[in-house]
């Protein structure tokens, strides 16, 4: 498993590349901590720095803990967990980025992920790679109407690149349709997935280069919802030509094509190669490392996303 001790460098200016940050938002009970535990359990050698508001419900396998010093817990495999209390910026400034591949921030239940992203934009060592907002399918309809919470939930969802409707196993099909309809109406531009037990495939959220871009075939359970291979499709596209990258990225990031995650290399109209990353509705273009071959790895929703259609979308641009 690849373990590099130094940060990746920008191939053009030789400076360390900013560390990708995933912001996990959502109200209490939406499954943020479960998602964190899920990501930690399948980190597979990527060195995650998890920043949580409090250690509270975080169920870290005691065997994984190598040590704790104040607000920082070191885990075997190179991951760390820090509780940041009311000083997220301070916690970020103290991280040793030489030994971190990706940061995941669990925001508090009423925090606005957009505001966290705004603060992060000032720290040049970091770049937000995605904001995922979880909702608890069994309570979201009540919370979205709650007089104290409605506007906070709305602001959280509006800032998301990817909305994960969690705990879909706890609700009826009718409820599920109602929630989907509501999200389609109010948040039409956002990618939405349905999951159980916060099991969002890590390849959707983690950016750092050594993560493979596949979704696991999982055994079918009593319900056929929430299992990776039955929900997601993966495919790769060859990109032989030169492209209007921004134009393509905008189309890929649209919610209607079912595409959730794109990663790869693409030539611009001047023939320069760039890295393209997309998570939900967020995309970014950076200088590519030297010697890479062009092509995109894609993950989409099986029901909505069609390889051929995506190919056409790119070639028609």
Partner 1 sequence: MITIYAAKKILTMNPARPTVTHVAVRDGLIIGAGSLAELEGFGEHTLNDQFADKIIMPGMVEGHSHAVEGKWWKYVYCGYFDRMDPHGKVWPGLRSIDEVVERLKEQDAKLTDPDEPMAGWSIDPIYYPEKRVTRHDLDRVSTTRPIGIMHASGHIMNTNSRALELAGFLRTGIENEGMPLGEDGLPTGELRGPDIMMPVGNHAGFDGNLFDFDEEGLVDFGKLCVRKGVTTATDLAAKLADEVVDVGVRVTARDDFPLRLMPFRFHHGLTPNELLEHVLQLKEHSTDRFRLGRIKIVADGSIQGFTARIKAPGYYNGAPNGLWYIAPDQMLSIYQLALQHNIQVHTHTNGDEATDLAIDTLETALKTHPTVNHRFTIQHGQLINAAQFKRMSVLGFCVNHFANHHFYWGDEHYHLTVGPERAERMNPCRTALDNGIPLAIHSDAPITPIGPLFTAWCAVNRLTSSGRTQGEYEKISVAEALYAITIGAAYTLQLDDEIGSIEAGKRADFAILEDDPTAIDPVKLKDVRIWGTVQDGRVFDANAL
Can you give the binding site for partner 1, defined by CB under 8 A? 27-29, 53-57, 83-90, 93, 108-110, 112, 118-119, 121-124, 146, 148-149, 151-152
Q: Under 8 Å CB-to-CB from 216, ≥6 apart: which residues?
A: 201, 228, 229
* Residue with Cβ nearer partner 1 (127 or 314): 127
**In the bound complex, what is the minimum distance in angstroms from residue 109's beta carbon to partner 1?**
4
* Residue with Cβ nearer partner 1 (148 or 316): 148
Token readout for 278 is 């997309």
* Residue with Cβ nearer partner 1 (52 or 305): 52
Q: What are phi and psi of 182, to 5 degrees?
A: -60, -45
The widest CA-to-CA distance across the chain, in whole angstroms, is: 55
**In the bound complex, what is the minimum distance in angstroms from residue 157's beta carbon to partner 1?**
16
* Residue with Cβ nearer partner 1 (112 or 285): 112
**In the bound complex, what is the minimum distance in angstroms from residue 118's beta carbon to partner 1?**
5
Q: 3-state DSSP call for residue 302?
A: coil
**Do the strands 80-83 and 102-106 form a parallel or antiparallel pair, or are they unpaired?**
unpaired
Residue 203 CA to residue 300 CA, distance in Å, equals 11
**In the bound complex, what is the minimum distance in angstroms from residue 161's beta carbon to partner 1?**
17
Answer yes or no: are the C-beta atoms of 162 and 191 closer than 8 Å.
Answer: yes
Token readout for 303 is 């029901």
* Residue with Cβ nearer partner 1 (109 or 254): 109
Q: 3-state DSSP call for residue 73?
A: strand
**In the bound complex, what is the minimum distance in angstroms from residue 54's beta carbon to partner 1?**
5
Token readout for 49 is 């720095």
**In the bound complex, what is the minimum distance in angstroms from residue 309's beta carbon to partner 1?**
34
**In the bound complex, what is the minimum distance in angstroms from residue 227's beta carbon to partner 1?**
31
Q: Which residues pair with 296 in a beta bridge?
A: 237, 264
Residue 181 CA to residue 201 CA, distance in Å, equals 24
* Residue with Cβ nearer partner 1 (146 or 256): 146
* Residue with Cβ nearer partner 1 (46 or 53): 53
Token readout for 129 is 């790679």
């Amino acid at each position: 498993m690849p373990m590099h001790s130094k940060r990746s460098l920008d191939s053009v200016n030789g400076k360390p590349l900013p560390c990708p940050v995933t912001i996990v938002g959502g109200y209490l009970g939406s499954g943020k901590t479960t998602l964190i535990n899920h990501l930690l359990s399948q980190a597979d050698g990527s060195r995650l720095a998890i920043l949580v508001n409090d250690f509270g419900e975080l169920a870290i396998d005691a065997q994984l803990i190598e040590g704790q010093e104040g607000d920082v817990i070191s885990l075997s495999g190179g991951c760390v967990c820090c509780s940041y209390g009311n000083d997220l910026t301070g916690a970020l400034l103290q991280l040793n980025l030489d030994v971190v591949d990706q940061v995941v921030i669990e925001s508090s239940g009423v925090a606005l992920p957009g505001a966290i992203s705004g603060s992060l934009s000032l720290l040049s060592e970091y770049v937000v790679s995605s904001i995922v907002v979880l909702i608890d399918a069994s309570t979201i309809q009540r919370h979205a109407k709650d007089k104290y919470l409605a506007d906070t939930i709305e602001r959280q969802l509006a800032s998301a690149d990817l909305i994960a409707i969690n705990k879909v196993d706890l609700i009826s099909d009718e409820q599920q349709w109602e929630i989907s309809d509501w999200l389609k109406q109010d948040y039409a531009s956002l990618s939405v997935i349905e999951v159980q037990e916060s099991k969002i495939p890590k390849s959707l959220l983690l950016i750092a280069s050594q993560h493979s871009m596949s979704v696991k075939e999982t055994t079918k359970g009593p319900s056929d919802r929430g299992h990776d291979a039955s929900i997601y499709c993966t495919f790769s596209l060859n990109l032989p030509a030169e492209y209007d990258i921004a134009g393509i990225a905008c189309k890929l990031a649209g919610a209607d094509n079912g595409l959730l995650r794109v990663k790869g290399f693409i030539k611009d109209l001047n023939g320069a190669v760039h890295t393209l990353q997309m998570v939900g509705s967020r995309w970014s273009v950076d200088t590519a490392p030297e010697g890479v071959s062009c092509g995109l790895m894609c993950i989409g929703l099986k029901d909505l996303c069609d390889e051929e259609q995506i190919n056409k979308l790119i070639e028609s641009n």
